[in-house]
Amino acid sequence: MAVQNYGDFVRIGPNHLAVGNPAAIETVFGTKNGRAWRKGGLYEGFNMHIPNARTDNFSERDETKAAERRRLVGAMYSQSNVLKYEPCIDRLIDLFRQQMKNLSESGESMDMSVWLERYTFDVMGEIFHGREGGFGMVRDGKDYNRWCYLMSVMPDVGASITYMPRGFQSLYLLSQLVFRNTRDGIVGMLDTVTQAKKAASERWKLMQEGGDYPKTDMLSGLLEMVREKGENINWNFSDVVVEVWSVIWAGSDTTATALTAIFYHLHKHPTKLAKLRQEIDTAFEQGRLENPVRFSAARKLPYLHAVVMESMRIHPSTGAGFPREVPSGGVQLCGTFVPGDVEVLMTAGAVQVDKRAFGEDSHEWIPERWLQDAETVRQMEKSMLQFGHGPRMCLGRTVSETEMYKLLPTILREFNFEILVDRWEVHKGWFNRSKNVICQVRPRNLE
């Protein structure tokens, strides 16, 4: 990365500056100077412009509007509220366990990254589309709607377009349309909006007619806001569609990437895997964990938490940076003056391996670094951008963490996985997608 080769400040465009010093994070993404910096122009390209609806939280550049939207939906993403959806995730974990049992009995090898992506999509299907079993990807072993495939082709094109000067964006898109992947991706993005409308419409009809429907999932919660106080808070059906659409694109692949990184690094470090398994086994023996695994209990396992944090640090889910506009008048950033209206860009892949924040061994996967004293850990946490930082931090973090902390203890306790050939491959684009985690699964002897 440029900042690792050329220093903390690298000009990467006429009005764009890459910054690599973790000490700048709070200034760039926080509210150190009284208010958050405006998001950069890149985010415009992810706005679907759904009629009569607010812009989704990720794409919204206006800080006042973004804060208003967060006030409306933020409670839905609180950890206490997300825990209401644990039974939805439990159903998916049961299906996942069954598929692992089937694969162990057949002796077939499999790509774990594929199964983890199916799992994360199905969780979104359960919680946000109101479908028991999600989209059926884990249950049937299929990529329904081709969403897993679409996530591998469209984000890079979309990001590339938004990074370009406006005059070249249309030309670039037209040039990319000769490729089938691009055409598929555009159709797929539009289809997700259609699917979101369909899910919301079907649920709304059941609610209006007094039919039987899940009362506690996210979809019902969002629609209840429309029914109970929509006019008073200016929240309508189209706003629900935006929320349901956005989580498909923002909430599935990022979590799958993190889970795959955790799984891969653990199985490349057998002693660390054994240490984590011992912690999990002991927790089950002492009754601190039980099936189905509760998030609140799993989150208290210190080594599991260390493994999760270290994997997200060394292999962040997003590869692109998060641009912010420097306020008019400019600022002093880590001792360097940056003029106003310049777009500053910081990437998780750069700051999360910075030696000033994580030590001389920052490029190595060492979970134990997260078991140091509280102040050291707090400083490292301040240098993490896995979920963003400050008031625009990812709202879905609670959902993502709940998915991870529930699945990992379950499958690591019940199954042994052997990576057959190390063909781990990482595509470094908008998402740091990984694949080819080819392994074989066998049941563990728990007696």
Specify binding-site residues. Answer: 394
Residue 16 to residue 10: CA distance in whole angstroms: 9
d(CA 151, CA 163): 19
Q: At what angle do helices 253-268 and 397-414 cross, to 10 degrees?
A: 40
Bridge-based pairing state of the strands 438-443 and 110-111 = antiparallel
Angle between helices 112-128 and 86-106 (to 10 degrees): 150
Q: Summarize the annotated binding site for heme as residue ranges.
A: 394
Provide the token pair at 75: 């409670």
Chain position carrying tokens 């891969």 = 264
Phi then psi for 165, rounded to 5 degrees?
-60, 145
Burial profile 334-351: b = 16 or more Cβ within 10 angstroms, e = fewer? eeeebeeebbbbbbbbbb
Calpha distance 122→226 (Å, rounded): 25
Cross-strand pairs, 427? 433
165 membership: H or E segment, kind and range: none
Q: What is the distance between the alpha carbons of residues 112 and 439, in angstroms, rounded to a whole number?
A: 7
